[in-house]
Every structure is written in structure tokens, then in C-alpha cells.
Amino acid sequence: MAHVSLPHDAKAGPTKPEVRAVLLDKLDLGPADHFAEVGSCTGAVTIEAARRAGRVTALERKPNRLETTRKNLAANDVTAEVDLREAEAPEGLPEDANVLFLGGSRNYEAVLDRAVEAGVDRVVMNVSRLEVAGAATEAFRERGLLDEVIQFQVSHGYELAGATSFDSENPVYMLVGGTAEVATDGGRRRSGPQSARRPDGRRR
């Protein structure tokens, strides 16, 4: 799959490629999915999702960042129908999304309440601030949403005096879960109304 091109910058993001790779595995998007994103910002996740899901609804509270999402989206090939909304979640969240990603943390408790009410199959939240990560982990747990907490510590090597040294990025916490029953394989993937399973039990 082509790399994501982000010619336009925003003051936050993008979610780094190494983190996106794991995020995409956890989201497990396919053509039957309607993916909702809170905080699209540079559009890096929006673009990746729009190459996999059937529908994407991306919310961004800051108009200039939503414009960056729009421009970066236009610079990439995607297949999904994408609806970009200037809104601060939970306002503006679609009723029928079955996969939810929180890249922004404002109102996250209300957003998670909506995820529970809507019975979303999978919900993932990325957090960089330690205190927010701890509180959000509790919020996932209290709502019965939590499957996994992953911490990323990514460093990139560079040449220094003929050897290799490293520049490290800020740690990122990824909270992964959903409203599905726990399956026999320990996973949480569930067939929602718009979903179907492959013979190996993974979602289409």
C-alpha cells in the first residue's frame, strides 16, 4: 500500500507510522466498516482508514486543522466515502459507526459513553500525556471496554561518528477494546449489524 503523503502540516500530529501500523492492526478495518475518528488533525489516520474501511467519518474541533485534513486527504488515493465534520465530539459523532478511534482526548468520557450506547465493535484511543492515559485507562475499565493497554517507545537511529545513536520520540499509550463479548480466542471482535466474519474468525 502506498505511503501516506502529508504535504500540509498541523500544529499537532501526525500519529507516527510505527504507531499507525499497530493501530491499523487493532482497528482491523474492512469494507463493511464505518470508522469514526475523533481529532483528525493532519489526516494521517483518516487516510489510512479511508484505504480500508467502507465509510469514514472524521471529526476535528479546530477548523484550520480540519482544513489540513481535507488538503492532505486530497493529496492521497483513498477508496472510502469520507465525511469530514467540524465538531467537538461527542457532538457530530455518527450514530451508525461500528469502529471508533480517539486521537483527541477532549470529552473522552462522554465519547466513550456514546461508544457503549452505540455498541461499537472496536474502540481505540491514543494518548501521550501520562495523567490522561491513566484516567482514560480507568474510564475504559469502568465501562467494560478495556482489552489491552500498549505503550510505545519508538526511537530512530542515526549515524554518529561512524556508529549508530538514537533519537527517541515521546511515549504513546494505546488503549484497545470494544463492547463485544470476549471470544474463545480471547479476542473481542464481534459481528455487528454491518459486519461479517472471515472463516478464520477475523472480520471482513
Ligand X SMILES: C[S@@+](CC[C@H](N)C(=O)[O-])C[C@H]1O[C@@H](n2cnc3c(N)ncnc32)[C@H](O)[C@@H]1O
Asked if 39 touches ligand X (CB under 6 A), the answer is yes
Q: Which region among 36-44, 131-139, 162-170, 174-182 touches ligand X (by CB under 6 A)?
A: 36-44
Euclidean distance between CA atoms 104 and 158, whole angstroms? 31
In the bound complex, what is the minimum distance in angstroms from residue 25's beta carbon to ligand X?
16
Phi first, then psi: give them for residue 114, nearest 5 degrees: -65, -35
Asked if 38 touches ligand X (CB under 6 A), the answer is yes
In the bound complex, what is the minimum distance in angstroms from residue 61's beta carbon to ligand X?
4
In the bound complex, what is the minimum distance in angstroms from residue 200's beta carbon to ligand X?
29
Sketch the per residue contact string, 59 through 98, with ligand X: x for CB under 6 A, - otherwise: xxxx--x----------------------xx---------
Q: What is the largest CA-CA distance in the chain?
A: 58
Strand ranges, E, within the chain? 34-38, 55-60, 81-86, 99-102, 122-127, 146-152, 155-160, 163-168, 172-177
Asked if 33 touches ligand X (CB under 6 A), the answer is no
**Which three cell numbers, joined as nine digits, stand for 54?**
467502507
The Cβ-side half-sphere exposure at 45, using a 13 Å CA radius, reads 36
Question: What residues make contact with ligand X under the rule CB under 6 A?
Answer: 12-15, 38-39, 41-42, 44-45, 59-62, 65, 88-89, 103-107
